[in-house]
Homo-oligomer: A and B are copies of this chain.
Amino acid sequence: MSNLFLDQTYLFTPGPTPIPNRVNAAMARPMIGHRSPDFSVLIEEVATKLMPVFGTKHPVLALTSSGTSALEAAVVNTVAAGEHAVVIVAGSFGDRFATIAENYGVHTHRLNIEWGKSCSPDELAAFLDKLSGTPVKAVFATFNETSTGVLNPIHELGKVVRKKTDALFIVDGVSCIGAVPVDMEADQIDLLVTSSQKALMLPPGLAFVSFSDRGLEAIKACPERRFYLDLNRYVKAYEEQKSTPFTPAVSLIAGAREVCTMIEEEGWNHVVERHTLLRDMMRAGIRGLGLPLLTSDEDASPTVTAVQPEDIPAPDIQKALKKDFSITIAGGQKKLKGKIFRIGHMGYCTPFDVLKVLSALELTLAKLGQEPQLGVATKKAEKVWIQHV
């Protein structure tokens, strides 16, 4: 049969994610000057309304750039060439954090974790113990490792860092901020960065940053050279003029305001609960089909699920979903390339969307030669859902 989906395509990558129509409409409103009073109102509203999402008492500042620049900003504003840093590497994005630090001449101590597992507080404690005597300036962690679908226990890791060292605790929140609860103070996080195109329901192009009092002091004191990514400039422009130091992506920030309104309307605690439900539905459905999950329930991310099929190559499933169902999911990265597929379920995503992917998977596995299991995954997922209806 010909394509049944008219002009529709279904985006289930772990970023970018679908954009709500009302956010598109907000971004298409007439352009305004970035040095106008209207823009000051806009940036202040976004900086303030994102505070509960970041669990911070400081404003959330926007950089016009994507996630990697947020990681780079986290590095070049806190550690200088020759200083020591620990980076937890549990996947592709932990590796990127470490690569950036190494690129800038930081003595980078990689705490390597098996891909698909989280970093336990004990592992971190033991690693820091071995480094006792080394002046570790900062510990870098990935909150949600997009490449494996693992959510690291940031709350416990933060406690270990503070107990064992004087180091800053710096967190890449790229693929989970906007979907999971976080409390920068309680979690001992000194710098938390994310980008726009994941749980925050925006196109790529913005990075967001917030900091603790300690983090702010470290940013001010850091001697490393930087200009566009110099967070001091963003702090100063915001504090003094409710502005940005350089031309910001005005339309994306207008979209961010609409996203903040949507989060308020849904209720932040409901946003978090929804993502937990989406994860539980997805995992129940995948399990129902007999497909192995890469991660344990304990480590599982609420925003992305990684599946490691045994009988059919992961790329074949990914290709068939695209061809027959207009569904885009993601493959594995680096050492997991060809071995897993990943389904994003964050941001503008509902339980019906989970059912959509699971239905398509049921049909796809049957078409690829497996014993048909039509309705099996969706039933499992609905059984999870009904407990919340």
Contacts and interface: CB of A to CB of B under 8 A. Distances in A.
Interface of A: 8-9, 11, 13, 15-19, 24-25, 27-28, 30-36, 64-69, 72, 81, 100, 103-105, 195, 197, 203-205, 225, 227-229, 245-252, 328, 330
A238 B36 CA distance: 37
6 contacts: A16-B34, A31-B203, A68-B227, A68-B246, A204-B247, A204-B248
Contacts of A33: 11, 13, 16, 328, 330
**Which among A32, A195, A197, A249 has the highest number of chain B CB atoms within 10 Å?**
A249
A282 to B, nearest CB: 18
Contacts of A228: 65, 68-69, 72, 229
A247 B197 contact: yes
Nearest to A99: B227
A225 B24 CA distance: 37
A40 to B, nearest CB: 14
**Which among A100, A204, A229 has the highest number of chain B CB atoms within 10 Å?**
A204
Given A9-B30, A13-B33, 6 more contacts: A18-B31, A19-B28, A34-B204, A36-B328, A64-B64, A69-B246
Copies of this chain per assembly: 2
Contacts of A100: 227
A67 B13 CA distance: 29
Contacts of A32: 9, 11, 16, 328
A16 B250 contact: yes
A28 B27 contact: yes
B34 A28 contact: no
B205 A251 contact: yes
Contact of A31 (B19, B34, B104): B19
A318 to B, nearest CB: 11
Nearest to A66: B247
Contacts of A25: 28
Contacts of A28: 19, 24-25, 27-28
Contacts of A103: 225, 227
B15 A247 contact: yes
A195 B321 CA distance: 37
B65 A65 contact: yes
Nearest to A29: B24
Given A197-B247, A203-B249, A225 B328 contact: no
A65 B68 contact: no
A105 B224 CA distance: 11
A328 B34 CA distance: 11
